[in-house]
Structure formats: C-alpha cells, structure tokens
Structure 1
Amino acid sequence: MTITRSDAVMNVIIVADHAFINGGQAKVAIESALGLAGRGHRVVFFAAVGPADPRLAAADIAVIVLGQTDVALTTSLASFGVQWLWNRPAALRLQALLSGYDPEDSVVHVHGWAKALSPSIGPVLKATRVPVVFTMHEYYLACPNGGFYDYPISAACHRTPLSPACIAYNCDSRSYARKLMRVGRHALMRGSGLVGSAATVITISRLQKTVLAPYLPKRTRYFEVSNPVDAEPLGRKADRPLGDIVFVGRVSPEKGANVFAEAARLAGQTAVFIGDGPQRAQLESDYPEARFLGWKNPAEVKALMRAARALVFPSVWYEGQPLTVLESLAAGTPVIVSDICAGREAVEDGVNGLWFASGKPDSLAAALMRLSDDAEARRMSDAAYDLFWADPLTLDRHLDGIEAVYRSSLAYARSPSTIRAIHA
C-alpha cells in the first residue's frame, strides 16, 4: 500500500489510558504526540489516568485527563468494575470532544483503552465522522486477556476467543472468576462497535497482523509502523572484555525469566536480571547463583546493555515489538530471542543474535554456550550495531510513517463507499 507525506497541518486527537509513561504503550503515545506537535500539528491528548506528563503542556498540547484509575492501580476491583466494563464518563467526554472537529482535517488515534477507558468508547468511535486509527500495542481487540497467553502454564494460547473451549478454560493469571469477567467484557466490547471502528490499524510487527487479522473485519486496512527507538550511535564496541548475558524487564513467567535462570544453570553461567517482578523472590530462592539488580533508570539500563555480552529475551508470549530487543541491537549487543515473539523479526539467527525454541531451557542453554565464545560474540556485536544503524528506527522515521497513515485515512474516509460501509 503506497502512502505519501504531506506538510498540511492536521488536528490529531490521541486517545490513551494513561497520560504518563508507565510502559511502552504510553511512552510511544506520548513521544508521538510530542513529535507531531513539534511538526506543527494541533494535538490533543485524551486519557483516563493522570498525572499528565509535563512535557505535553509545555509543547502546547491540549491535555484532557479524566482523573480516573486503572485496573492495575485500583484498590478495589469490585468498585472499579463498573468503569472497567463501561466507562460512561469517558465516552461522554470523548463524544463531546470529537463533535468539535472537522473530519476533513482531523484524525483520532487510539493507543489504548483496555486498562481504564473500557469498551464504552466504541459507540463514540463508530459514530464519529473523524477517521479513526488504532495502534496495536497488544491484542485486546481479539483476545479477552489481551495476549493470547495461557498464564497457568506460561505458554501461548491457541484457542479461538469466546469459543466454548476458550470460555471453559481458565487462562487468567488470578482466577477463573476473573477470566469470566474478561469473557463478559470481551463480548460487550464486540457489541460496542469498537472493533468495527478500527478501519485503519497500525501494527508494529508482522507477527501482530498474522495474529490479529482473523478476528478483525476483512475491510481493515493494515500499515506497519515501527515504534521509535531511543538510542544514540555510539559506534562499534571497543575491543574490551565482554560482560555478562543479561535479562532486562519484568521478572515474570510470561517474560520467560525462569527459562533464562534454568538455562544459565545448565550452561554453567550466571544469569543477570535487570528489573523486578512477581517471580523475583521465587527465582532468588531457586537460583541463588543468579544476580538480581532490580530496576535501574534508563541511562543505567543502556549502559548495562552496552557492556553486556548479549541480551536474552526469552518471552513465551507473542509480544508486539519489544523495544528492549531493538535498544540492545542499537547498542551493539547481540540478542538471544525466543522464536515465538515478534522480537525475532529484528534478529537474524546466527548474524546479530540467535533464536531458541520458546520455553525450552536446553535450547536457550545451547545459545548461551555459543555466545560464550568471545570471537563469536564480537562478530555478532559488530553485526548488531551495523545492521541497526544502517536503517535506524528514529522518531522522525516513526512520525513520517504515522503522518502517512493519517493522510491515507483522511483520503479513504472521504470515499462515499467507505462512509456507507463504516456507518451501515
């Protein structure tokens, strides 16, 4: 699909659960908003949960924060349940906001809704004449738990969403009652028009489209726009001793933390974890030889990845486009990645890193042993750096892609046949 860039100013209404950075999804939404405003577009940032990143207001971005909570921050799931199922105040406020915009030069860009905004925004997005774009940071439009992931067995789930097999099986991380709540909300979401409003979908990896396409309308238009990577071209690594092989991120089963710990033991190496999470205490007890550094600030993480022999990304679910993988490659650090997640798309097996069989400690151990060879590690380090910086995923490249999608969406929405199809 051919898309072109134009310099005309647009109104961009960015919709997200959070107005502050609490993860990759919010980071991309906020950095994108700042970049678009810097290019002269009129940007509004609409979110349920604050506080708002102060850079938004400083960039003359209109910020609307509803002062609500989310599913992770709430102190009472029972009291939060109404908002989680159907956040009526958010829908009314979004409807009032969109009514003031001309569909000829305005776009709604949805980055997140599942943690706080709820399916209630579906009818609003379905009814508006302003073109709607979704970025798929996860899989909530298709899967009740958002990840096609079976938490009890720490493996990808291949059941059809809302099928009898899906409904009967407990894939939730907490309880079957919680799973049934998710099933109910997913059914509500399907009837809300939210899925149908996503006429234009931005995916951040090829894997995402493969996973999502069977569950979205056939008329859905897909564009792949990579997330920006915050990195500097520091040059190839100096000829110095190589460090440890590290894990960076949430120490939890879906991230494959236990797979790395066991693989390192099998390979006779030390597993180094940068991050924290619910599995840390158990792993510290089971693998006393491992090192746990806890959370570090972004600059410290970059320095640790730069010094590492390799990064291990052992995630056992699909992921979207893991930024940690790309940041590691940008630093000249090869990546050992599980073959199930989208991170593999950035890694050429045997060139700038290695693939291993997802969830298999022995397969990962073999990869760890291969990277223990200094010459092999340095060869892959040079390739990691050279391949990334030959075509870097900069913010400008990301914004070029986003603007092009907006232009295409505006042109597509003007078609009479499109208007009839969307609002039928």
Structure 2
Amino acid sequence: MHILVVHNRYSSGQPSGENRVVDWEVDLLRSAGHRVEVFERRSDDIAAMPLLEKAAVPLLVPWNPSVRKELTARLRASRPDVVHVHNVFPLLSPAVIAACGDAGVPVVATLHNYTQVCPPGTLQRDGRPCTECVGSTPLPAVRHGCYRGSRLATVPLALSLSVNRRRWWSGVQRFFCISDAQRDVLVRAGMPAERLALKHNFVPDPGVYRVGEGEHLLYLGRLAEAKGIRLLMAAWDEVAASGGVGVPLVIAGAGPLEAEVTAWAAGRDDVHYAGLLDPAECRKVVARSVAVVAPSTWLEAFGLVVVEAMAAGVPAVAAGHGAFVELVEEGATGLLHRPDEHTSLAACIRRIADDPDLGREMGQAARRRYEKYFSPAVGLEHLEEEYRTAIAGR
C-alpha cells in the first residue's frame, strides 16, 4: 500500500512516546514493503520563527489554511491509498482532514490521548482525574485554564475542539484507540462507536533482556505531575524511612519538574537521577531493572514504558487505573497500586523488590504477554487490516 503519515512532532527536548510510536510504525511499514511518505511539522521550529509569526501560532491551532492548501496539492500529486493522521497540534491543525476530503483520500487517525473530548488531552485537572468536558462543551477547560495553567493558552484548543468536532467525526474512516479504557471514554462522549477500533501500540523487540534479579527500580519518562513523579518521590521516602529495599531508584527523563527531582535526589545513595537517555541507553537501563515503576496520576491512554518493560522481561509497578489495568496482569506480569496513594505504591515496591523469585516469574510472564499482544508482527497485522478496512469503505 501507499501510505501518507501526517504528524506534528513534539519538542525534542522532552521524552515523547508519541514521536517514537510514529517512527516505529513508519519503519515497520517500510520494512514490510509498503510505500510510506511523511507530511510533518516540528514544534522545535517555533523557537526559530520571527516574533510576529511565533505570536500567530495560537491562531492557527483551530485552522491552518496554508496546511490545507499544501497537503491537498501533495495528495493530488502522489495519490496515496490512505492517510494516517497522528498529532496535528499546534502547527498542522484539523485542516489536514479537510485536505484529505478535498483530494478524496480515506483517512485513519490514531488517538494517542483524549484531545477529541478534552482540550489538553489529559482528562486531568489540579492533579486529579477530570471529565467535566467529556460529552459537553470545553468551556470548563477554559474557565480552569487546563492547558499550562492558562485560560488564554487553553482558548485555541477549546475552540478547535468545538468547531472541528464534526469534521473529525465525519471525515475520518477509522479511529485507532490504543486501549479499551480510552475507547470506553470516547464512546461515552458520543464518538461514533463503529469507527473506534482498538489497536494497541506495539514496541520493537529491544534485543536486550533482563538477566538475574535486576540492579535497580526504574522510573523512565517525563518528569511531570501527571506522570506521578511526585507520588513516587513520596513513596520512595516512605520506603527509605523503613530501611529501603537494597537497590536504588533510578530516574531517567526530563520535564517541568526536573529541578525538583534533581534537588530531591542530590546527595542520596538510594536515588540516582540519570537525566535524559538516548534510546540505546534506555533499553539497557530497562533490562537491568528489578521493575519499572509507572505511577501516573492521569488516566493513561496506553502506557508505553510498561510494554517496553514487558519486551525486556521486566515486570511493572503501575497505577491501577486507565490503560494500565489491561496492560498489567495483577500478580502475574506486575503489580497495580491504588491510584494517588503513595503508601500503596510503597507497599508494591517493597513486595516486588523483596521477592526475587516473584519478580523473575513476573518478568518471564510479561515477556510472553508482549510476544502475544504487543510485538511488531502483531502491530503490522493490525495496521494492514485497518488500512484495508478504511480503503474499502472510502
């Protein structure tokens, strides 16, 4: 098949699972013999824009007419079989859907978060789950300044959601939900259930796997409130106060709470802040883990780091809500702690660190689960099937 992938890349200064998923899918499809082209914008480019152009970026979030014109011309010239849309914020906009309609090319879209029903896409406010805008208007998000704590910054997102909702729902043949938990929320919000297909993200085989009991507990991801890093720090302090677990906590990543994490880890023998690691270093540090900890306070639509741990034969300790409850088999491939409760998280950390045999068994079961549900072969099969469905129904 001839596929055009549309994606606005997130900033390279912070970890982005979404960027990696897009790159993995492009490489996988090409390796399978499909012709894949990419139409993209990069958020990194905003910093280099002239001042007036930079100031105008929020105005283009709901609609970017130049993108519609450019993409329409490209589609008419290259005539792909299907367009696969990922992220369109902030430089592409939903104008890409109109361009596909102009050119008569079928569209599929991966929903990596909840931006179809929540302006910031997190279903979270003030560190707690929030569904006030789900199935309603996005006015509460503006009132609370849900995007970056700013009402002004939230307005373009809320406006885009309001004016483009029907365009998305009528212009996209198949939406890919990356978990059942995400799909359930979107169906309740009124999205057309018959167009919402479950398609988990896949993870490439890392080539390095856990051997032995592991050397550390690992947090790998964005250093942000929604990812539960503060919850983890509180839980680890409780673990340390009771004598520790014999292995250190390694934190790898970057984000808005980096200074806070660095200060907390400074001078401690039981914590190591590794900073932002490259992909090869990430694979190695995962494979050396007793467990990967994913304590997100928001309702994760997927949880890529958990599946990366599975691929390396490493169990996970994750929050018991959102997609984690379908990724982690409690007591079999990992442990689920009560969301937002650092005492429950601390108890799970102690349990998995104090029982090497349990950790080893869970890691082996996690690898088997990865091979069955989240391997590249499974990912390719699902992609090809959904593309054919969209093309047949154009």
TM-score of the aligned structures, taking structure 1 as reference length = 0.81
Cα drift, residue 251 of structure 1: 1.1
Q: Kindly tell me: are residues 44 and 386 of structure 1, through their superposed partners in 2, closer, same or farther at Cα, counting changes over 3 Å?
A: closer
3-state SS, counterpart of residue 397 of structure 1: helix
Show the counterpart of 2:112.
137
Show the counterpart of 1:362.
343
Tell me which amino acid in the other structure corresponds to 1:43: V
Aligned pairs for 1:237-386 (under 5 A) are 237-239=210-212, 241-268=213-240, 269=244, 270-286=248-264, 288=266, 289=268, 290-373=271-354, 374-386=356-368
Deviations 1:150-199 (A, max 9, x none): 1xx212212124255444323232322222333223223336x1332123
Task: Let me know the Cα RMSD of the aligned residues.
Answer: 2.7
Gaps of 5+ in 2: none
Cα drift, residue 381 of structure 1: 2.5
Mean alpha-carbon deviation: is it higher for 342-351 or for 218-227? Answer: 218-227
Identity of aligned residues (%): 25
Aligned pairs for 1:89-100 (under 5 A) are 89-100=66-77
Is 1:156 paired with 2:129?
yes
Mean alpha-carbon deviation: is it higher for 125-134 or for 293-302? Answer: 125-134
Is 1:209 paired with 2:183?
yes
Aligned pairs for 1:2-21 (under 5 A) are 10-18=1-9
Aligned pairs for 1:47-58 (under 5 A) are 47-49=40-42
How many pairs does the alignment contain?
378
Is 1:199 paired with 2:177?
no
Show the counterpart of 1:222.
196
Deviations 1:293-319 (A, max 9, x none): 111122222111111111100111122
Q: Does the CA-based 8 Å contact 1:109-1:135 persist in structure 2?
A: yes
Tell me which amino acid in the other structure corresponds to 1:23: S
Q: Kindly tell me: are residues 234 and 81 of structure 1, through their superposed partners in 2, closer, same or farther at Cα, counting changes over 3 Å?
A: closer
Distance 1:44 1:203 in 2: 23
Distance 1:73 1:353 in 2: 44
Distance 2:11 2:384 in 1: 23
Q: Does the CA-based 8 Å contact 1:20-1:30 persist in structure 2?
A: no
Tell me which amino acid in the other structure corresponds to 1:302: R
Q: Does the CA-based 8 Å contact 2:97-2:107 persist in structure 1?
A: no
Q: Kindly tell me: are residues 315 and 75 of structure 1, through their superposed partners in 2, closer, same or farther at Cα, counting changes over 3 Å?
A: farther
Q: Does the CA-based 8 Å contact 1:69-1:116 persist in structure 2?
A: no
Distance 2:18 2:373 in 1: 20
Distance 1:101 1:166 in 2: 40
Tell me which amino acid in the other structure corresponds to 2:17: G
Show the counterpart of 1:190.
165
Tell me which amino acid in the other structure corresponds to 2:31: G
Show the counterpart of 2:374.
393
3-state SS, counterpart of residue 45 of structure 1: strand
Q: Does the CA-based 8 Å contact 1:37-1:43 persist in structure 2?
A: yes
Gaps of 5+ in 1: 1-9, 51-67, 414-424
Tell me which amino acid in the other structure corresponds to 1:31: W
Deviations 1:390-413 (A, max 9, x none): x16232321221111111112222
Cα drift, residue 18 of structure 1: 3.2
Q: Does the CA-based 8 Å contact 2:313-2:367 persist in structure 1?
A: yes
Distance 2:326 2:360 in 1: 21
Show the counterpart of 1:29.
22
TM-score of the aligned structures, taking structure 2 as reference length = 0.86
Tell me which amino acid in the other structure corresponds to 2:219: F
Q: Does the CA-based 8 Å contact 1:256-1:315 persist in structure 2?
A: yes
